[in-house]
Structure 1
Amino acid sequence: MKKTAILLTTICASAFLYVSCSSNDTDNTPPSTDLTNVGASIAVDTSNEMDLNTGLLVTSSSNTGKTTETPAGICAAISVTTPNGGEYPKVFTVDFGTTGCKDENNLTRKGKLKITLSGSVITTGSKMTIERIDYSINNIKLEGTIEYTNTTTVATIPQWTRKVTNGKLTDLKGGVYTNSGTYTTRQIAGVDTPFVLSDNVYEITDGSHTVTASNGTTLTLTVKETLVKKYSCLFISKGQLKIQGGILNGVIDYGNNDCDALYTYTHENGTSYSLSM
């Protein structure tokens, strides 16, 4: 059975919080509130990926020696400090302003991202920490910290863990979604050009995160089939997540590696929902 759900976006790439179902057949299928939680969970994950991309872009530009230049695609004022006087730790403040500015994806960002490097992000053991300060995307408030730690053991296969703590998304209607989790990421393309990001392709091989809605419903999303994230794509383009919580028990499928906003949720009874971010 195939159904279509339209997730009306309030943040284009990152908040798909309202759902309608085109079919009148609702037997044994998740109600719209549960599909809303699915969308919110994807929104949380996508916003984390977006901020991680920003961190990589800003710090990669610094590694080329251009610390005073704002890299293409960033609509913010960037300042760099070295608190201990040496090369590291290095702290970047990415300031989008109180009224905000539109980035290359036509999303309005406000507030600040504080990005701290303990060492070069391509060096084993180094950590990039991203903190959100009065930060929002299209007025969707985002909080929490992302830690991106290099755990590479084979030089030709760079690898990181991405840990999110104290995550929180507040939507335009005041709905709150707290979140946390850890993913393992490895780079499978672009390794030979470490300071060029556009050709990078990453795989998220394992891990999970939990998202808890204001009503107490908690969803757990676990990597079922390796996820593919191209730096040049706004969204994950391939792979599957197992999703469980409340009445939900099914699989999110990101498709066939296309750079689009489409994905599906298939419930355990076989009902499939076509969704758009």
Structure 2
Amino acid sequence: MKTLKLKLRTINQLVLAVLMTAVLVACGEEDMTENQSEAAEIVSAEAEMDAIFEDVDDLSSVSLESADANSGGRIAEGDIEDDRICEGVFSYEGTREEGTITLDFGDGCIDANGNVRKGKIFISHVGSFFLPGSTTTLTFEDYSINDIHVEGKRTVTNITEDDRDTLSFSVMLEGGKVTWPDGTFATREVDHVRVWERALNPINDRILVSGTASGTTRRGVTYASAIAEDLVFVKNCRRSRRAGLPVDGVNVITTSNKVITLDFGDGECDNEVTITVDGVEEDVTLG
């Protein structure tokens, strides 16, 4: 079985790149029309929320892998080789079948990229992460990354059938909320299916995402999104500036007065996204 450590080591770069993309999008809003500005703001909100919760999911996966490999009681502090998890942060009680991981970052744990995590993440699992039917629940206690506060309950269920080279997960986010240091916040609820297509070389792995989401942006715009064509994420594209963007797929976002369609292309690792707002199409370069 492949190790998740080799597959997911680039998540810090993913988070930083997506957050930078969001900033660049926001900085260009002064030159946009009202429609484009609202569309860019929603894209920014989706990207930031995706990056933050993707980082949490990856911390969960790395921790669960270590717990699975070292089942049978509390695991020593040094058993996880991940620069995001400082000495003394990780603890585990349980067995391979059931247990709870606590990631206690305390007043601050700094990773190799300068990100500062504080507070606690609780990861409770029933069954092995790799086995069909297993369920993992993530909750938070005063958790933040770079002083961006994270809330919500994230439930991940392994719904894989027969093909062991492809893992499928149901992902539900309830009460998702991200609050920035200036007091602004965004909310999100998610009902997604993630299909993890594993390759011989982990860098060629693909993630296919389908499903729906809804929420509000930092400016209070309420929206709902429905993935019309699976969003495809390719790990080897994370070496480029495209980072957290899909390489393919279509997402349709609806607000109270607009329909925004995001077309992420045809598989190329570029930064181009075609945004259609109320029938008006424009190619946009993010980042």
1:246 aligns with 2:251: no
CA distance in 1, matches of 2:157, 2:67: 18
* Residue 38 (structure 1) aligns with: 43
Shift, 1:176, TM fit = 1.6
| 1:74 maps to 2:51 | no
- Answer yes or no: is 1:90 the counterpart of 2:94: no
For the 8 Å contact 1:19–1:36, the answer to whether it is kept is no
Contact 2:39–2:260 (CA under 8 A) maintained in structure 1: no
**Cα RMSD over matched residues?**
3.0
Instruction: Measure the CA separation in 2 of the matches of 1:23 and 1:215.
Output: 18
Partner secondary structure for residue 38 of structure 1: helix
1:62 and 2:67 correspond: yes
Percent identity over the alignment is 22
Partners of 2:267 and 2:119 in 1: CA distance = 33
Distance of 1:11 and 1:173 partners within structure 2: 19
2:135 counterpart (115, 120, 127): 127
Does residue 219 (structure 1) correspond to residue 196 (structure 2)? The answer is no
User: Gapped runs of 5+ residues in structure 1?
Assistant: 1-9
Gaps of 5+ in 2: 1-14
What is the TM-score when the length of structure 1 is the normalising length? 0.78
Q: Point out the structure with the larger strand share.
A: 1
In structure 2, how many angstroms separate the alpha carbons of the residues matched to 1:175 and 1:151? 36
Paired residues of 1:101 and 1:109 also in contact (CA < 8 A): yes
Q: CA deviation at 1:78?
A: 0.6
Structure 2 Cα separation of the partners of residues 269 and 74 of structure 1: 43
Deviates more, 1:209-218 or 1:46-55: 209-218
Say yes or no: does 1:274 pair with 2:257: no
Task: Tell me: higher relative CO, structure 1 or 2? Use CA pairs within 8 A at least 6 residues apart.
Answer: 1
The residue number in structure 1 matching 2:8 is none
Q: Could you list the per-position Cα deviations for residues 67-126 of structure 1 after superposition, in whole angstroms to 9, with x for gaps in the alignment? A: 4312324333211112xxx543211111223133125x5432222211111111111110
> What is the number of residues matched between the two proteins?
255
Partner of 1:116: 124
Aligned with 2:198 (options 178, 181, 189): 189
Contact 2:104 2:120 in 1 (8 A): yes
Task: Tell me the distance in 2 between the aligned counterparts of 1:140 and 1:107.
Answer: 11
